[in-house]
Protein backbone atom coordinates (compact mmCIF):
# COMPACT_ATOMS: atom_id res chain seq x y z
CA UNK A 1 0.00 0.00 0.00
CA UNK A 2 1.30 3.42 -0.93
CA UNK A 3 1.46 5.84 2.00
CA UNK A 4 2.57 9.46 1.94
CA UNK A 5 3.32 11.16 5.26
CA UNK A 6 4.20 14.87 5.49
CA UNK A 7 6.94 15.49 8.05
CA UNK A 8 5.96 18.21 10.53
CA UNK A 9 8.10 20.56 12.55
CA UNK A 10 10.89 21.42 10.13
CA UNK A 11 12.43 24.81 10.92
CA UNK A 12 12.68 27.64 8.41
CA UNK A 13 15.54 26.48 6.23
CA UNK A 14 18.65 28.66 5.98
CA UNK A 15 21.67 28.55 3.65
CA UNK A 16 24.09 25.83 4.70
CA UNK A 17 21.62 23.92 6.88
CA UNK A 18 22.17 20.15 7.14
CA UNK A 19 18.93 19.25 5.41
CA UNK A 20 19.46 15.49 5.64
CA UNK A 21 19.94 15.65 9.42
CA UNK A 22 16.95 17.94 9.91
CA UNK A 23 14.73 15.54 7.98
CA UNK A 24 15.92 12.52 9.95
CA UNK A 25 15.09 14.41 13.14
CA UNK A 26 11.61 15.14 11.73
CA UNK A 27 11.25 11.41 11.06
CA UNK A 28 12.04 10.67 14.70
CA UNK A 29 9.47 13.23 15.89
CA UNK A 30 6.88 11.55 13.66
CA UNK A 31 7.82 8.11 15.09
CA UNK A 32 8.79 6.89 11.62
CA UNK A 33 11.69 4.53 10.94
CA UNK A 34 13.34 4.14 7.56
CA UNK A 35 12.80 0.90 5.67
CA UNK A 36 14.48 -0.22 2.45
CA UNK A 37 12.66 1.24 -0.54
CA UNK A 38 11.36 4.33 1.27
CA UNK A 39 11.44 7.61 -0.65
CA UNK A 40 11.82 11.22 0.46
CA UNK A 41 10.10 13.86 -1.68
CA UNK A 42 11.32 17.42 -1.10
CA UNK A 43 9.92 20.72 -2.28
CA UNK A 44 12.58 22.48 -4.33
CA UNK A 45 12.41 25.63 -2.21
CA UNK A 46 14.08 24.06 0.82
CA UNK A 47 16.84 22.63 -1.36
CA UNK A 48 17.34 25.97 -3.10
CA UNK A 49 17.52 27.74 0.26
CA UNK A 50 20.19 25.43 1.67
CA UNK A 51 22.19 25.91 -1.54
CA UNK A 52 22.05 29.71 -1.36
CA UNK A 53 19.93 30.20 -4.47
CA UNK A 54 18.18 33.26 -3.05
CA UNK A 55 18.86 36.42 -5.10
CA UNK A 56 18.17 40.08 -4.37
CA UNK A 57 16.92 41.81 -7.51
CA UNK A 58 18.85 44.92 -6.49
CA UNK A 59 22.02 43.05 -7.48
CA UNK A 60 20.80 42.26 -11.00
CA UNK A 61 21.59 44.45 -14.03
CA UNK A 62 19.14 43.78 -16.89
CA UNK A 63 20.43 43.36 -20.42
CA UNK A 64 18.87 45.20 -23.40
CA UNK A 65 17.01 42.00 -24.33
CA UNK A 66 15.61 41.74 -20.81
CA UNK A 67 14.47 45.36 -20.91
CA UNK A 68 12.74 44.85 -24.26
CA UNK A 69 10.93 41.72 -23.06
CA UNK A 70 10.00 43.37 -19.76
CA UNK A 71 8.35 46.26 -21.60
CA UNK A 72 6.31 43.80 -23.68
CA UNK A 73 5.10 41.63 -20.83
CA UNK A 74 4.98 44.20 -18.01
CA UNK A 75 7.44 42.51 -15.66
CA UNK A 76 10.45 43.75 -13.72
CA UNK A 77 13.40 43.75 -16.19
CA UNK A 78 15.69 42.48 -13.43
CA UNK A 79 13.48 39.43 -13.00
CA UNK A 80 13.42 38.91 -16.76
CA UNK A 81 17.22 39.01 -16.77
CA UNK A 82 17.34 36.19 -14.18
CA UNK A 83 14.79 34.21 -16.17
CA UNK A 84 16.92 34.51 -19.30
CA UNK A 85 20.04 33.51 -17.36
CA UNK A 86 18.26 30.43 -15.99
CA UNK A 87 16.94 29.42 -19.42
CA UNK A 88 18.75 28.04 -22.44
CA UNK A 89 17.88 31.27 -24.24
CA UNK A 90 14.68 30.00 -25.88
CA UNK A 91 11.57 32.05 -25.07
CA UNK A 92 8.58 29.96 -26.14
CA UNK A 93 5.57 32.08 -25.20
CA UNK A 94 4.79 35.45 -23.63
CA UNK A 95 1.75 37.42 -22.59
CA UNK A 96 1.35 40.31 -20.14
CA UNK A 97 2.60 39.04 -16.80
CA UNK A 98 3.97 35.72 -18.06
CA UNK A 99 7.00 34.35 -19.88
CA UNK A 100 7.47 30.66 -20.73
CA UNK A 101 11.01 29.44 -21.41
CA UNK A 102 12.94 26.25 -21.78
CA UNK A 103 14.91 26.00 -18.56
CA UNK A 104 18.62 25.22 -18.83
CA UNK A 105 17.81 21.82 -17.24
CA UNK A 106 15.68 20.95 -20.28
CA UNK A 107 12.07 21.31 -19.18
CA UNK A 108 9.60 24.01 -20.21
CA UNK A 109 8.11 26.17 -17.47
CA UNK A 110 6.92 29.65 -16.61
CA UNK A 111 9.47 32.18 -15.34
CA UNK A 112 12.28 29.56 -15.38
CA UNK A 113 10.91 28.33 -12.06
CA UNK A 114 11.88 31.58 -10.28
CA UNK A 115 9.50 32.40 -7.46
CA UNK A 116 8.68 35.01 -4.81
CA UNK A 117 6.37 32.82 -2.68
CA UNK A 118 7.60 31.53 0.69
CA UNK A 119 10.79 33.58 0.35
CA UNK A 120 11.56 35.63 3.46
CA UNK A 121 12.16 39.33 2.96
CA UNK A 122 10.54 41.92 0.74
CA UNK A 123 9.57 41.52 -2.93
CA UNK A 124 13.14 42.26 -3.98
CA UNK A 125 14.10 38.69 -3.07
CA UNK A 126 13.48 35.71 -5.37
CA UNK A 127 14.49 32.06 -5.29
CA UNK A 128 16.04 30.16 -8.19
CA UNK A 129 15.78 26.42 -8.73
CA UNK A 130 18.71 24.30 -7.50
CA UNK A 131 21.74 24.46 -9.79
CA UNK A 132 21.63 20.70 -10.41
CA UNK A 133 18.62 19.01 -8.77
CA UNK A 134 19.73 15.48 -9.70
CA UNK A 135 23.05 16.09 -7.96
CA UNK A 136 21.27 17.63 -4.96
CA UNK A 137 19.06 14.55 -4.67
CA UNK A 138 22.09 12.28 -5.01
CA UNK A 139 23.98 14.08 -2.20
CA UNK A 140 21.02 13.77 0.15
CA UNK A 141 20.52 10.13 -0.71
CA UNK A 142 24.21 9.35 -0.14
CA UNK A 143 24.08 11.04 3.27
CA UNK A 144 20.94 9.18 4.34
CA UNK A 145 22.21 5.81 3.15
CA UNK A 146 25.56 6.37 4.84
CA UNK A 147 23.92 7.44 8.10
CA UNK A 148 21.20 4.79 8.26
CA UNK A 149 22.50 1.93 6.10
CA UNK A 150 19.10 1.87 4.37
CA UNK A 151 18.46 2.07 0.62
CA UNK A 152 16.23 5.05 -0.17
CA UNK A 153 15.10 7.11 -3.13
CA UNK A 154 15.06 10.91 -3.23
CA UNK A 155 13.06 13.26 -5.39
CA UNK A 156 12.98 17.06 -5.61
CA UNK A 157 9.76 18.52 -6.99
CA UNK A 158 8.33 21.82 -8.15
CA UNK A 159 4.87 23.05 -9.15
CA UNK A 160 4.37 23.54 -12.88
CA UNK A 161 1.47 24.62 -15.04
CA UNK A 162 0.48 22.55 -18.07
CA UNK A 163 -0.46 23.41 -21.62
CA UNK A 164 -4.22 23.06 -22.27
CA UNK A 165 -5.12 22.46 -18.60
CA UNK A 166 -5.73 24.81 -15.68
CA UNK A 167 -3.97 24.53 -12.33
CA UNK A 168 -0.46 23.59 -11.26
CA UNK A 169 0.72 20.10 -10.34
CA UNK A 170 3.85 18.77 -8.73
CA UNK A 171 6.50 17.47 -11.12
CA UNK A 172 9.91 15.92 -10.55
CA UNK A 173 12.93 18.13 -11.29
CA UNK A 174 15.57 16.03 -9.52
CA UNK A 175 15.75 12.26 -9.00
CA UNK A 176 18.13 9.82 -7.31
CA UNK A 177 17.57 6.16 -6.62
CA UNK A 178 14.17 5.73 -8.26
CA UNK A 179 12.89 5.53 -11.83
CA UNK A 180 11.73 8.61 -13.68
CA UNK A 181 9.86 6.53 -16.26
CA UNK A 182 8.72 2.92 -15.98
CA UNK A 183 8.57 1.12 -19.35
CA UNK A 184 5.66 -1.34 -19.52
CA UNK A 185 6.06 -2.16 -23.20
CA UNK A 186 6.07 -5.89 -23.72
CA UNK A 187 3.88 -6.63 -20.70
CA UNK A 188 0.37 -8.00 -21.08
CA UNK A 189 -2.85 -6.18 -20.19
CA UNK A 190 -5.86 -7.84 -18.49
CA UNK A 191 -6.90 -9.38 -21.81
CA UNK A 192 -3.46 -10.71 -22.63
CA UNK A 193 -2.71 -8.06 -25.24
CA UNK A 194 0.92 -6.96 -25.29
CA UNK A 195 1.41 -3.29 -24.46
CA UNK A 196 3.10 -1.46 -27.32
CA UNK A 197 3.57 2.14 -26.16
CA UNK A 198 2.86 2.41 -22.43
CA UNK A 199 5.58 4.19 -20.48
CA UNK A 200 4.55 5.48 -17.05
CA UNK A 201 5.88 8.83 -15.78
CA UNK A 202 6.17 7.28 -12.32
CA UNK A 203 8.25 10.08 -10.80
CA UNK A 204 5.80 12.75 -11.93
CA UNK A 205 2.86 10.69 -10.67
CA UNK A 206 4.49 10.47 -7.25
CA UNK A 207 5.44 14.16 -7.38
CA UNK A 208 1.81 15.14 -7.98
CA UNK A 209 0.64 12.99 -5.06
CA UNK A 210 3.31 14.39 -2.74
CA UNK A 211 2.53 17.95 -3.78
CA UNK A 212 -1.11 17.39 -2.85
CA UNK A 213 -0.01 16.26 0.63
CA UNK A 214 2.51 19.10 1.04
CA UNK A 215 0.07 21.86 0.14
CA UNK A 216 0.89 25.03 -1.76
CA UNK A 217 0.49 27.89 0.74
CA UNK A 218 1.34 28.15 4.46
CA UNK A 219 1.19 24.47 5.42
CA UNK A 220 4.89 24.30 6.26
CA UNK A 221 5.38 20.65 5.29
CA UNK A 222 7.92 20.67 2.44
CA UNK A 223 9.03 17.04 2.90
CA UNK A 224 6.96 13.90 2.39
CA UNK A 225 8.00 10.38 3.40
CA UNK A 226 6.77 7.73 0.95
CA UNK A 227 6.41 4.01 1.53
CA UNK A 228 5.02 1.39 -0.82
CA UNK A 229 6.16 2.84 -4.17
CA UNK A 230 4.83 0.23 -6.61
CA UNK A 231 7.96 -0.07 -8.78
CA UNK A 232 11.47 -1.32 -7.96
CA UNK A 233 13.99 1.34 -7.03
CA UNK A 234 16.86 1.89 -9.46
CA UNK A 235 19.13 4.67 -10.60
CA UNK A 236 17.17 7.42 -12.32
CA UNK A 237 17.47 10.98 -13.51
CA UNK A 238 15.45 13.94 -14.72
CA UNK A 239 16.60 13.23 -18.27
CA UNK A 240 14.20 10.28 -18.49
CA UNK A 241 11.24 12.65 -18.19
CA UNK A 242 12.32 15.23 -20.79
CA UNK A 243 10.90 14.55 -24.24
CA UNK A 244 13.55 15.04 -26.94
CA UNK A 245 12.83 18.02 -29.19
CA UNK A 246 12.76 15.81 -32.29
CA UNK A 247 9.83 13.90 -30.75
CA UNK A 248 7.97 17.01 -29.57
CA UNK A 249 4.92 17.51 -31.81
CA UNK A 250 3.90 20.84 -30.29
CA UNK A 251 6.95 23.10 -30.61
* pLDDT reported for residue 194: 83
Q: Which of 53-62, 195-204, 232-241 has the lowest mean pLDDT?
A: 195-204
* pLDDT reported for residue 16: 93
> Do the Cβ atoms of 225 and 40 come closer than 8 Å?
yes
Segment 89-129, tens digit of pLDDT: 889 999 999 999 999 999 999 999 998 766 666 678 999 99
Residue 24: pLDDT band with limits 50, 70, 90: very high
User: What's 3-51+131-240's CATH class?
Assistant: alpha beta
Average confidence (pLDDT) over 224-239:
96
d(CA 206, CA 170): 8
Per-domain boundaries in the chain: 3-51+131-240, 54-127
Q: Which of 79-83, 162-166, 187-191 has the lowest mean pLDDT?
A: 187-191
Longest dimension (CA), the chain: 62
Segment 134-161, tens digit of pLDDT: 999 999 999 999 999 999 999 999 999 9
**CATH code of domain 54-127:** 3.90.1660.10
Please check the confidence at residue 56 and state whether its pLDDT lies above 80.
yes
* Mean pLDDT rounded to a whole number for the chain: 92
Same fold, 3-51+131-240 and 54-127: no
Amino acid sequence: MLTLTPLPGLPMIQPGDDLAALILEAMRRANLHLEPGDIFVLAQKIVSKTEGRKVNLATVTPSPRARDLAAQIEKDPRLIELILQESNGEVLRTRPGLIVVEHRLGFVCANAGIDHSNVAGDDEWVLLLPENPDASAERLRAQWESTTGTQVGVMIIDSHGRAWRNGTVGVAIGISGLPGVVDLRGQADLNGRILQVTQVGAADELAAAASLVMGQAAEGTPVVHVRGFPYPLREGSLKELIRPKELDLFR
